[in-house]
Amino acid sequence: MKCTACPVVTSGLNITVNKPDTAPKTELPKADFLIITWTDAETDALAKIFGSGKCSYKTLTSNTLTPLKVVGIPLPESANYHGFFFQCTIATKSVVACKCNFHPKMQTTETENLIKKIIGTAGTHNYKYVITSGTAGGIWDSIDVGDVVVTNAARFGLTLPAKKNLRFTGVANVKGSKPDNAATWFDYVNANLIKDNDCVAQNLFTAGGRATISGKPKILYQSSGSNIDAVVTNSHINNDHIDEEKSNLSIYKTMGASLDENDAFAAESCKAIGFANWVSIRNISDLPRSSNANQYTTYEYCSSINGAYAVWAFIMGH
Ligand SMILES: [Zn+2]
């Protein structure tokens, strides 16, 4: 069963937002933070948490966000726009959240050109920080559906050999500043926003979902024991590489940082234009080691809720 209705917390997040203008725009506004995400479920989760009831996103043709049509880059197939966006303020920080209609793994060159154009060329960057966010599969046994991995380390996985040697380190300080009552804003979210009795947690404890031994879902932002924090790989569902990814798990564990290749492409764009302050925030929607082929379908939206909280925590700390 696909969940589309996880309850979200928006009170106390210090977010102000105006209803988006639905007239198409040719460029994104400048801001302190840019969030780029990809799927409908991810955008839905961001719109619910960051939109404070004034933004909604279901599909390309059913949403209340601002369409983006950039000049000089061909449109994605089956989409009239390059993406959709809305603006908000978190504390005193300006934020633009954008759904990109190109899928980097499939429209590589177009996506890289779009991201470079959006962020701006060297010396004239339009944002202080860029967050790429979305669903992912989890490599390590300690990571389970519903967890979130925050990392500044980019490298391609093993499904795109020509690209696999990219190494890029983004924002220097992933943790950022901290609130008075927690070690980091990520810890604050773990303690206060991700709750045992949320749909996110309860539904993830159903058969084929999060294992009971994994406890409450959490944001991971640093290495723990022998586990490296940059530990996500491509989702294995609806992916031609499913068996390949499963067979590659042991190799991934020796590679250190490898992450969802959509983010690796985004990181490559950042590297090309000399933009350092990039971070990847990936919520674990499925596990290559799982035999449950419906994990992604069922938990994509639920895990995206936790991903959006992690994005909020990053913004609060930077
Ligand atoms: Zn749910």
Dist. CA 86–CA 95, nearest whole Å: 8
Dist. CA 93–CA 164, nearest whole Å: 35
- Overall domain count for the chain: 1
Tell me the per-residue pLDDT of 81-127, one tens digit each, with 9 for 90 and over: 999 999 999 999 999 999 999 988 778 889 989 999 999 987 889 99
Give residue 206's pLDDT: 80
Give residue 231's pLDDT: 56
Q: What is the CATH number of the domain that holds 304?
A: 3.40.50.1580
The 3 state secondary structure assigned to 139-192 is CCCCCCCCCEEEECEECCCCCCHHHCCCCEECCCCCCCCCCCCCCCHHHHHHHH
Q: Check whether 197 has a pLDDT greater than 70.
A: no
CA of 240 to the centre of ligand 1 (A): 26
CA of 7 to the centre of ligand 1 (A): 8
- The residue among 251, 224, 235 whose CA lies nearest residue 151 is 224
What are the structure tokens assigned to 46, written together? 């961001």
Dist. CA 195–CA 209, nearest whole Å: 17
Tell me the per-residue pLDDT of 201-241, one tens digit each, with 9 for 90 and over: 777 888 788 888 888 999 999 876 555 555 565 544 445 55
Give residue 153's pLDDT: 85
Q: Tell me which residue range forms the domain holding 144.
A: 20-317
* Neighbouring C-beta atoms of residue 305, cutoff 10 Å: 29
pTM (global) more than 0.75: yes
The answer to whether position 41 is within a domain reads yes
CA of 207 to the centre of ligand 1 (A): 14
CA of 265 to the centre of ligand 1 (A): 29
CA of 178 to the centre of ligand 1 (A): 29
Tell me the per-residue pLDDT of 145-175, one tens digit each, with 9 for 90 and over: 899 999 998 888 777 666 667 788 999 999 9
CA of 63 to the centre of ligand 1 (A): 20
The answer to whether position 3 is within a domain reads no
The answer to whether position 33 is within a domain reads yes
Are the C-beta atoms of residues 182 and 169 closer than 8 Å to each other? no
The answer to whether position 251 is within a domain reads yes
Are the C-beta atoms of residues 13 and 312 closer than 8 Å to each other? yes
Dist. CA 314–CA 257, nearest whole Å: 20
The answer to whether position 297 is within a domain reads yes
Task: Give me the mean pLDDT over the 19-39 stretch.
Answer: 97
Helix (H) or strand (E) holding 41: helix 40-50
CA of 244 to the centre of ligand 1 (A): 29
The answer to whether position 177 is within a domain reads yes
**pLDDT, averaged across the chain:** 87
CA of 203 to the centre of ligand 1 (A): 6
Give residue 240's pLDDT: 56
Q: Check whether 77 has a pLDDT greater than 90.
A: no
Give residue 242's pLDDT: 59
The answer to whether position 5 is within a domain reads no
Give residue 238's pLDDT: 47
The answer to whether position 291 is within a domain reads yes
* Neighbouring C-beta atoms of residue 238, cutoff 10 Å: 10
